[in-house]
Amino acid sequence: MKIGIVGLGLIGGSLGLDLREQGHQIVGIARRPQTCQEALDRQVVHQAGSDYSLLTDADVVFVCTPIAAIEKTVAAMVPWLDEHTVVTDVGSVKAAIVTAATRHWPRFVGGHPMAGKTEVGLEAAEPGLFAERAYVLTPLEETPSGAVETVSTLVRELNAKLYECSPAIHDRAVAWISHLPVMVSSSLIQACLSESETTVAELAQALASSGFRDTSRVGGGPPELGMMMAHYNREALLTSLQAYRNQLDTVISLIQTENWTGVQQHLTQTQAARPKFVS
């Protein structure tokens, strides 16, 4: 297949490396000439440039730009697409993107590879990033089934674990396990900063170790990521934050009333449930 990749960063670059390895013809689109050159030097793509005309005859185009640019990127590409071209994206939220992009191009299939790392940019791209990781496709009822099958085939070639659901269900699920943790973790850091006694605050910072590293990691990430989650997945995030606040109120009440049996039950339940989410 001829595959276009628009946005040659961590995700776009990693897709290029794997799909090229599978024998596909890869064409990359980037805004900056040095990104195009780096993509050619690293053999991420066969051809690269900043002109959408490179996408002519593409069977599939992956839009791998930041979320805020996905819809306008799809709109800008349309004049260059053939009627058979399937367009997909990799954005971490789906409902807002899928509805808007499908208006521009009916053969649009929303996608979200649940793979990533702390670093971003083409230099962080690596082969095998998606292997054994979930990759969610979020077609609408009207999305042509052939388009979904085309993207599904490529996802299987990445050795990713394929899931399919509606955009709204996707956004509610990732609110629990991805977007809520960012807000919880950032609130944890803010709460620690509220310690007013300098001696205590400085000692806490000096003593912070693996437990704090684990629980504060996603709250210490790039602000743009949390902003994107809050902006594009507002409703689902608010629902999960309310549930989290209820849980905090419950724990506060149990401790205030010295209900140690209740605290014990709470912690026993969470210890038993955690493996449902992560092993």
- Considering the complex, what minimum distance in angstroms separates the CB of residue 112 from ligand NAP? 6
- Considering the complex, what minimum distance in angstroms separates the CB of residue 26 from ligand NAP? 14
Question: Cα(95)–Cα(254) distance, rounded to whole angstroms?
Answer: 38
Query: Based on CB atoms, which residue is closest to ligand NAP, 94 or 172?
Result: 94
Q: Are 130 and 117 in contact (CB under 8 A)?
A: no
Phi, psi (deg, nearest 5) at residue 159 = 65, 25
Query: Based on CB atoms, which residue is closest to ligand NAP, 230 or 263?
Result: 230
- Considering the complex, what minimum distance in angstroms separates the CB of residue 136 from ligand NAP? 10
- Considering the complex, what minimum distance in angstroms separates the CB of residue 256 from ligand NAP? 39
Question: Cα(275)–Cα(47) distance, rounded to whole angstroms?
Answer: 44
Strands 134-137 and 111-113: antiparallel
- Considering the complex, what minimum distance in angstroms separates the CB of residue 50 from ligand NAP? 9
Query: Based on CB atoms, which residue is closest to ligand NAP, 8 or 86?
Result: 8
Query: Based on CB atoms, which residue is closest to ligand NAP, 51 or 142?
Result: 51
Left (φ > 0), alpha (ψ -120 to 50) or beta: where does 159 sit?
left
Tokens of 247: 């849980």
- Considering the complex, what minimum distance in angstroms separates the CB of residue 133 from ligand NAP? 9
Query: Based on CB atoms, which residue is closest to ligand NAP, 29 or 148?
Result: 29
Question: Cα(72)–Cα(59) distance, rounded to whole angstroms?
Answer: 20
- Considering the complex, what minimum distance in angstroms separates the CB of residue 215 from ligand NAP? 19
Question: Cα(229)–Cα(95) distance, rounded to whole angstroms?
Answer: 12
Q: Are 170 and 138 in contact (CB under 8 A)?
A: yes
Interface residues toward ligand NAP, by CB under 6 A: 7-12, 30-32, 35, 64-67, 69, 73, 90-92, 113, 116, 120-121
What is the CB neighbour count within 10 angstroms for residue 49?
A: 15
Query: Based on CB atoms, which residue is closest to ligand NAP, 104 or 266?
Result: 104
Burial class of residue 257 (count of CB atoms within 10 Å of its CB; 0-12, 13-18, 19+): exposed
Query: Based on CB atoms, which residue is closest to ligand NAP, 4 or 9?
Result: 9
- Considering the complex, what minimum distance in angstroms separates the CB of residue 138 from ligand NAP? 13
Question: Cα(10)–Cα(217) distance, rounded to whole angstroms?
Answer: 19
Query: Based on CB atoms, which residue is closest to ligand NAP, 12 or 110?
Result: 12
Q: What angle do CA 188, 66, 8 make, to 5 degrees?
A: 120
